[in-house]
Amino acid sequence: MGPGTLAEILKDIPAAKNENLLVGLETSDDAGVYRLTPETALIQTMDFFTPVVDDPYVFGQIAAANALSDIYAMGGQPLTAMNIVCFPARTLPLAILKEIIRGGADKIAEAGAVLVGGHSVEDREPKYGLSVTGIVHPQNVWTNRGARPGDALILTKPLGTGIAATAIKAGLASQDLVDKAVEVMSTLNRNAAETARTAEINACTDITGFGLLGHAYEMAAAGSIKIIFSAGAIPILAGVQELAANGIIPGGAYANRDYLSSNVAFAGDVDENTRAIFFDPQTSGGLLFSVPAANAGPLLERLHAAGIKDAAVIGKVTAGQTGIEVTG
Ligand code: CO
Ligand code: CO
Ligand code: CO
């Protein structure tokens, strides 16, 4: 399905009304949040997809890191996870599935969560992911709707994993790019989220299938604000610019661009390849934080000190008309 397809369908489904539903479908946020008690809210999310790398164990790690990320993007702590498995058991050895699930289980353990079950179905193409449940204090939920004029935006991982995965599938990625892309995609957003926990975070989301500009637009729309990105400040995986210049761009990047065309404007010199990277669908991408500008420098320092070396201030929030501008 293209970007927004499910959102379009859900428009016709009556919105759930419940005083304990703190985050529902309306703002296209990372997860649902439901208050259980005045001190505890439940966070629920799920995500699964087809392999993005050849190694089944690494694919399992990446798919799990990606699914767990939505809990971190809400400011929460993952507690339990369930496997979602589609697998062609008649044509592929079960040893492959075992490796996928072992990779996922290792990431779940690294997140401090517990694997409690799952479900598998026979399918022509393997797919794997998790349904994850977490908790957060109802007053400390990070939503995508709190960005305010005067905020600065921090991104914690470099872009380009969709282009990298496309190159890997085509056998066109250098070993350096494979290694770096795998490292980026399999890294939990736990460290970034915990480092930011003590800072004043006005809004947060993670960058996944709609790309940087798609998820930033969700933040802009939810908060009725304008976001201005500085193209040169946005971290990009080394080697991805060259692949984009050679036309190695996933179809999802074009779908994202078409879907967002009326809400994203480019000013100054931002070449077509760089634009494609900003629309590139990410797998297990970084967190995008909107923080009061005065706090951005100190938070960035702490992220770097915590080992999140690619974190960068990439733009700002203004009061203009809802949308995104990317300046060259
Ligand atoms: Co998300
Ligand atoms: Co998600
Ligand atoms: Co959030």
Chain segment 233-264, per-residue pLDDT in tens: 999 999 999 999 999 999 999 999 999 999 99
- pLDDT at res. 120: 95
CA of 208 to the centre of ligand 2 (A): 7
Q: For residue 150, how far is its CA from the centre of ligand 3 (angstroms)?
A: 19
Quote the ligand 3 centre to 145 CA distance (angstroms).
8
Backbone angles phi, psi at 203, to 5 degrees: -155, 155
| Residue 103: per-residue pLDDT | 98
Structure-token pair, residue 318: 């203004």
Centre of ligand 2 from the C-alpha of residue 46, in Å: 6
pLDDT at 73: 97
Whether domain 151-327 has CATH 2.60.120.560: the reply is no
Q: Quote the pLDDT of residue 198.
A: 86
Where does the chain hold its CATH 3.30.1330.10 domain(s)?
31-140
> So what's the pLDDT on residue 7?
73
pLDDT exceeds cutoff 90 at 6: no
* Residue percentage of the chain with pLDDT more than 70: 99
* pLDDT range class, residue 10, cuts 50, 70, 90: confident
pLDDT of amino acid 1: 61
C-alpha of residue 76 to centroid of ligand 3, in Å: 9
Q: How many Å lie between the centroid of ligand 3 and the Cα of residue 287?
A: 9
Q: Can you tell me the distance from the alpha carbon of 121 to that of 228, in angstroms, rounded to the nearest whole number?
A: 44
**Per-residue pLDDT reduced to its tens digit, 39-72:** 999 999 999 999 999 999 999 999 999 999 999 9
Does the structure show a pLDDT above 80 at 11? no
CATH 3.30.1330.10 fits 31-140, yes or no: yes
Q: What is the pLDDT of residue 85?
A: 97
pLDDT of residue 15 exceeding 80: no
Burial of residue 81 (number of CB atoms within 10 Å: 0-12, 13-18, 19+): buried
Residue-wise pLDDT for 205-242, tens only, equals 999 999 999 999 999 999 999 999 999 999 999 999 99
* Residues surrounding ion ligand 2 at CB below 5 Å: 47, 70
Which-ligand-closest: CA of 74? 3
Distance 88 CA to ligand 3 centre (A): 34
For the cut 70, the answer to whether the pLDDT of residue 327 exceeds it is: yes
| Three-state secondary structure call for residue 210 | coil
Task: Quote the ligand 2 centre to 182 CA distance (angstroms).
Answer: 19
Average pLDDT for the chain: 96
Integer CA distances (angstroms), 202 to 87, 147, 149, 150, 296, in order = 41, 5, 11, 11, 12
State how far the Cα of 104 lies from the Cα of 81, in Å rounded to an integer: 10
Q: Which ligand is nearest to the CA of 144?
A: 3
Nearest in space to 302 (alpha carbons), one of 210, 196, 228? 196
Please indicate whether residue 99 or residue 13 has the higher confidence score (pLDDT): 99
Q: What is the pLDDT of residues 155-176, one digit of tens each?
A: 999 999 999 999 999 999 999 9
Residues of the chain with CATH 3.90.650.10: 151-327
- How would residue 2 be classed by pLDDT, with cut points 50, 70 and 90? low
Distance 284 CA to ligand 2 centre (A): 9
- Six-digit token string for 206: 């993670």
Of 285, 302, 236, 278, the closest CA to residue 68 belongs to: 285
pLDDT confidence bin for 14, thresholds 50/70/90: confident
pLDDT in tens, 284-298: 999 999 999 999 999
Task: Using the mean position of ligand 1's atoms as its centre, give its distance from the Cα of residue 75 in Å.
Answer: 12
Name the pLDDT band for 3 (thresholds 50, 70, 90). low
